[in-house]
Amino acid sequence: MNLKNGKITVGELLDDPRSRAVLQKRFPAALRHPMTGAARTVTLEQLLAAASAWLPRRKLDEALEELRRV
């Protein structure tokens, strides 16, 4: 998948069934969070910057690699 150099939005990722499946598999609690809908305009780059405060970089890198392959 073309992640547009990190400029793809959360909404675009959620709208594509392949990338949504990756996110569901790797971050199931995040997709159930009430703020997920409000985050649709956030870019992947912004999301990664925020998520890096709570998640190990390795986990984020593995998810990115899987997203690139779908």
Q: Which domain holds residue 23?
A: 4-69
Q: Write down the pTM of the prediction.
A: 0.92
Render pLDDT for 30-58 as a digit per residue (tens, 0 to 9). Answer: 999 999 999 999 999 999 999 999 999 99
Q: What is the pLDDT of residue 49?
A: 96
DSSP-assigned beta bridge partners for residue 43: 9
Q: How many domains does the chain have?
A: 1
Q: What is the pLDDT of residues 14-25, one digit of tens each?
A: 999 999 999 999
- How confident is the model at residue 24, as a pLDDT? 97
Residues 6+ away with beta carbon under 8 Å from 47: 10, 39
- Exposed/middle/buried for residue 22 (C-beta within 10 Å: 0-12, 13-18, 19+): buried
